[in-house]
Structure 1
Amino acid sequence: MSDRSTDFAAIPAAHRNLSDTARQRARIATMALFFIAGMVYGSWGVHVPTVRDRFQLSPALLSVALLAVAGGSIGAMAANASWIARVGTRRACLTGGLVMSVCVALILVVPFYWMLLVVLALFGAGMATLDVAMNAEASAVEKALRKPIMSSLHGMFSVGGMVGAAVGGALLAHGMAPAVHLGLAAALSALVLIAACP
């Protein structure tokens, strides 16, 4: 009896009175977030050479551009933990995910290199915010379901990355403009985020 009480206490308050159907919907929505995060990251990865060619970057300048993504991610992870705890995972996932989506659509649209660095830093920050928030939500959903699901969720991120890279490569091979591809990836990401976060 005490074990069951302890298990119940560990379930987040927002999930204690959910039906089994609602818990499964929460699991599917969280899986969708992991998939979309991976898909956007894979879609962006396809275009690293495109960015190099469009802005005529030397290896050093391309490295700085990639460093901007990492810098934005590290900065967001260091600064956003208390904000995510305050506003909740739903709002944080939606905010971080939409910033990520808007930025990925702008990567091949901005006209100047310095603008590219700003967009890439914000892209990294949005992705990191989504990453932290969706992992916090995944932990809560796992507790609500009373069974381990974290590995399957992270598997969805990997699947999303493979799908994003494969579809991106196929579309480019068939002549789609790179900026259009990233715009479509951004639109799909935003739609899934808006549908999943409630």
Structure 2
Amino acid sequence: MSDRSSEFATLPAAHRDLSDTARQRARIATMAVFFIAGMMYASWGVHVPTVRDRFHLNAAMLSFALLAVAGGSIGAMAANASWIARVGTRRACLTGGLVMTACAALILIVPAYWMLLLVLAIFGAGMATLDVAMNAEASAVEKALGKPIMSSLHGMFSVGGMFGAAVGGALLARGMAPAVHLALAAA
């Protein structure tokens, strides 16, 4: 068996019988997921000062809030690999994305700091689930296409991040309420 046919045999069944057009659509869809993930993460990042001010956080408390995001991410990455393999990347991307966006919409409306920590931890878990699943999907799409595309996909995450930060900053500068911005970004 050649290297190419061996790689093809390891593809998920959903990618084996795709036409060239369908493979290109899969690439575009995966690029969109990377863009949206970057946009959402940057939209949250724009509001770190807002979180600090809304909850009257000192530097240590703000650092702990940021640690909650990282803790949720690490926990999800450690726990979700077998679940993602079982349910598939499409369902895992959808689940992780929905959890992440629902939590993003809640960040600035929860009434207490302990709730903020919980929402941020779950936000991190959703983001990590989406991250692992979209990268697994990207690997399968890359194999199906038979050419390297991973760097362009991660580039889309960065473009999404720049877009999310620029739009978020512009909307806040024009007076949009921070909670409205995060709800809009989540939608």
Answer whether TM exceeds 0.5 for this pair.
yes
Deviation (angstroms), 1:15: 1.2
Counterpart for residue 192 of structure 1: none
Counterpart for residue 107 of structure 1: 107
Counterpart for residue 53 of structure 1: 53
Distance across 2 between alignment mates of 1:72 and 1:8: 34
Aligned to 2:175, the other structure's residue is in SS state coil
The yes-or-no answer on 1:26 pairing with 2:26 is yes
Counterpart for residue 169 of structure 2: 169
* Change in 2 beyond 3 A, CA 1:7/1:86: closer
Distance across 2 between alignment mates of 1:3 and 1:52: 53
Aligned to 1:57, the other structure's residue is in SS state coil
Distance across 2 between alignment mates of 1:152 and 1:181: 28
**Amino acid in structure 2 at the alignment position of 1:174:** R
Deviation (angstroms), 1:2: 3.6
C-alpha distance after superposition, 1:112-147 (max 9, x if no partner): 111000000000000000000000000000000111
Deviation (angstroms), 1:105: 0.4
Deviation (angstroms), 1:3: 4.6
**Structure 1: runs of 5+ lacking an equivalent:** 188-198
Deviation (angstroms), 1:107: 0.3
Q: How many residues align?
A: 187
**Structure 2: runs of 5+ lacking an equivalent:** none
Q: Is the CA contact 1:110–1:116 (under 8 Å) kept in the aligned structure 2?
A: yes
Deviation (angstroms), 1:48: 0.3
C-alpha distance after superposition, 1:40-74 (max 9, x if no partner): 11111110000000000111111110000000000
Structure-to-structure mapping, 1:144-155, within 5 angstroms: 144-155=144-155
> Runs of 4 or more off by more than 4 Å in structure 1?
none
**Amino acid in structure 2 at the alignment position of 1:84:** I
- State the TM-score, normalizing by the size of structure 2: 0.97
**Amino acid in structure 2 at the alignment position of 1:163:** F
Counterpart for residue 5 of structure 1: 5
Q: Identical aligned pairs, as a percentage?
A: 87
Deviation (angstroms), 1:11: 3.3
Deviation (angstroms), 1:21: 1.1
Structure-to-structure mapping, 1:168-187, within 5 angstroms: 168-187=168-187
Distance across 1 between alignment mates of 2:56 and 2:165: 23
Counterpart for residue 98 of structure 2: 98
- State the TM-score, normalizing by the size of structure 1: 0.92
Structure-to-structure mapping, 1:56-95, within 5 angstroms: 56-95=56-95
